[in-house]
Structure 1
Amino acid sequence: MDERDWPGRELSDEELDVAYNVRRKAGEELFGQLMVRYRAESDKAVEGLPGAPGLVYDEASGERLDVWGTGDAPRPVFVFVHGGYWKALSRADSAFMAGMLHERGVATVVPDYTLAPEATLEEIIRQVRASIAWVWRHGREHGLDPDRIVVGGSSAGGHLTGMTMVEGWQEALGLPADVVKAAMPFSGLFDLRPLTRVYVNEWLGLDVARAAGLSPALVAGARRCPAVITVAEHDGTGFVEQSRRFHAQWGGELLTVPERDHFDVVLDLGDPESLVSRRLLALIQAL
């Protein structure tokens, strides 16, 4: 690991803040409107869907997940991990793809995790991995196929998706190394070292060594599941660079979605004809 090779390492602290402060880039009015859309479109998507909301997946933390869009036989499952820079949002804001997927024979699982700063990032990662373990162990009881798990997430959820893609954690939980069959991180953070120099570290409290150890790009290992690494055309420059670098390391597909920004790109998962939905469905259908 080259300690000097940080994404944006040549930038000043002020320039790094611009690269990663996508809320300020969007503006408070638009940001607020989009957060309302997250909840409203999630509520609409799950209305009347078969499923099992509010299941405890991790006894240690008591955190819960929702299962949506099950059918008569076990279905492939898309586990979506919400963003919010590890300190905001919830599973209730994050099911806007459930209706679209249900109509195409795919179930959706949306886990909560304890938000920072109440939980450390190490604990948040542990919880998200525990949600994958729950799907693998208990999925069939709820109409899920544990052999067809695809993980995705947006922003901080893209980082957490990356931490389920990498090697080195599955064996301790009694899981097969390939438990995550494919992945689709949106606007992910794959090298956390730049965040030690921006406002996000107020609630993460990372030093460089911890940030490196919690970075998918730095702990990736040799195995590579199929992945569509997705970023918006008008995303924050830090997120664009992180996605480009991670794709160069991981492989798979780098998908830059035109005319979208950091917050609205993932909402396209509610539209079956959108570019991101078509790529997600292709990932799932290839399993």
Structure 2
Amino acid sequence: MMASREELEHAYSPSRWSHRMGSDDVINAHIKTLTEGSNLARECVDCEVGFSFGLSEKEKFDVFGAKTLPGDAPIFVYIHGGYWSALGREMSSFMAPVLCKAGAVVVSVGYDLAPQANMDEIVSQVKKAVSFVLTMATRRGSSGVYLCGHSAGAHLAALMLSQNWLEETMVSPGMIKGAVLVCGVYDLRPLVNTYVNDPLKMTVEDAVRNSPVTHLDKIAGFSEKRRFIVAYGDHDPPEFQRQSTEFNIALSSRGIQSTLMVIPDTDHFNVIENLQLEDYSLSQEIVKLMNLNIGPILDQMQSTNIS
């Protein structure tokens, strides 16, 4: 039996499932937390903001730690969520103090939001941004690029794993060493008949074309040596939990090194907000993924301007 629109909208409304506060409050708190954390990052980490990679005002990314860290430092690329219609790069660098101290350059990516852009255009813009970062990584001699996205951003990051970057940028797809996909939607079809799609106006065909689940073989073909983390909070909506679990199984069944993380006592929002914390389990796993060690590096860098 097919779910009604009302049932689907409830299932795909993360704010209705928080265990910490009401729907409006958790969204307002999320925006406040991301904004304050990102403002702090711009104050305490060397940064270059507003690199343009396209013609629109939102097609920009910010770079943290590039001046201080060595050229071979890994690059952590963060793609924000907001159901493709909210948030932005200005509030997407909240994890930079922790990850830059651990030894990674952090890049926060912006893109046009619906309804100004449709899904195809958003995917194309993120693709351009990642192309620029891969070129930057090659020029720096970086040890690798690691993609991370939250919610809608996890969907976009997952799609980037299916690209043949050698054709796009003359950079080997092997430059992307891994990905951290947090609370993502990997099959867009359930969203077509919900409020989420009102600004996007996706057809079923659009949803299929832009769903990572329809590109699994391509992802596997480029990801033989990549390592993935697929994560969600234990108070995420059941549909987000299901999509994450099934996507991780699909990756693993194709020989990809993918680990599922269910993070206790977190909902759809603080599961990503907590990347501001050095001792947070997902922060620690990301540092390990990038072959860094948060403790000693932190100690060594206390006297630098990243402290």
Residue type at the aligned position of 2:98: M
Alignment partner of 2:94 out of 89, 93, 96: 96
Q: Distance in 2 between matches of 1:170 and 1:61?
A: 28
- Greater mean deviation of Cα atoms: 96-105 or 70-79: 70-79
Residues 1:47 and 2:43 are matched in the alignment: yes
**Any idea what SS the aligned residue of 1:84 has?**
coil
RMSD: 1.9
Contact 1:76 1:145 in 2 (8 A): no
**Any idea what SS the aligned residue of 1:204 has?**
coil
Q: Which residue of 1 aligns with 2:243?
A: 242
Residues 1:271 and 2:277 are matched in the alignment: yes
In 2 relative to 1, CA 146–163 (structure 1 residues): closer, same or farther, beyond 3 Å? farther
Q: Distance in 2 between matches of 1:33 and 1:72?
A: 32
* CA displacement, residues 131-184 of structure 1 (integer Å, 9 cap, x when unaligned): 11111223466xx54441000010000101101112456523433222321000
Residue type at the aligned position of 1:230: A
Structure 2: stretches of 5+ with no match in the other structure: 253-257, 293-307
Q: Which residue of 2 aligns with 1:5?
A: none
**Any idea what SS the aligned residue of 1:36 has?**
helix
- Greater mean deviation of Cα atoms: 13-22 or 238-247: 13-22
**Any idea what SS the aligned residue of 1:203 has?**
coil
**Any idea what SS the aligned residue of 2:146 has?**
strand
- Whichever structure has more helix as a proportion of its residues is 2
Q: Distance in 2 between matches of 1:115 and 1:218?
A: 23
Number of aligned residue pairs: give it: 276
Residues 1:191 and 2:187 are matched in the alignment: yes
Residues 1:34 and 2:30 are matched in the alignment: yes
Instruction: Using structure 2 for the length normalisation, give the TM-score.
Output: 0.84
Structure 1: stretches of 5+ with no match in the other structure: 1-8
Alignment partner of 2:109 out of 105, 108, 111: 111
Q: How does 1:8-87 map to 2 (within 5 A)?
A: 10-26=2-18, 27-59=23-55, 63-70=59-66, 71-74=68-71, 75-87=73-85
Q: Percentage identity across aligned positions?
A: 30
Q: Distance in 2 between matches of 1:260 and 1:25?
A: 11
Contact 1:16 1:238 in 2 (8 A): no
1:231 Cα offset (Å): 0.6
Residues 1:129 and 2:135 are matched in the alignment: no
In 2 relative to 1, CA 163–61 (structure 1 residues): closer, same or farther, beyond 3 Å? farther
In 2 relative to 1, CA 61–89 (structure 1 residues): closer, same or farther, beyond 3 Å? closer
The 4+ residue runs of structure 1 with deviation greater than 4 A are 59-62, 144-147
Contact 2:135 2:169 in 1 (8 A): no
Residue type at the aligned position of 2:207: A
Contact 1:46 1:99 in 2 (8 A): no
